[in-house]
Amino acid sequence: MKTKFLHRIDRERCKGCGLCVSACPKNVLEIHAELNLKGYFPAFQARAEDCIFCAICCTVCPDVAIEIEEIPEAAGAAKGKR
């Protein structure tokens, strides 16, 4: 099973500049169609299954609004058990 990663993007901190979207080598992130409380269109994780955990999005974000968390595989699934 392929490891997956969850992007935690602080919607209220994100200004929707798009740097993370354009920097992502796997096209994982997109800009949301709905405004946040400050009137910006924040980024969101559109394709979690494509993330390779390069963390370029976290590095380029000027608002420090992105964190990435590994989604752990279930112990039973990892060993082929039910």
Q: What is the pLDDT of residue 52?
A: 92
Q: What is the pLDDT of residue 74?
A: 59
Place of tokens 């209220």: 12
Q: What is the pLDDT of residue 71?
A: 84
Instruction: Please report, as a single letter, which amino acid is at residue 62.
Output: P
Given the DSSP bridges, would you call strands 43-45 and 4-9 parallel, antiparallel or unpaired?
unpaired
Assigned CATH class of 4-73: alpha beta
Q: Which pLDDT tens digits describe the chain residue by residue (82 residues)?
A: 567 899 999 999 999 999 999 999 999 999 999 999 999 999 999 998 899 999 999 999 999 999 999 887 754 454 554 4
Q: Count Cβ neighbours within 10 Å for each residue of 42-71 and write b for 16 or more, e otherwise.
A: bbbbeeeebbeeeebbbeebebebbebeee
Q: Where are the domains of the chain?
A: 4-73
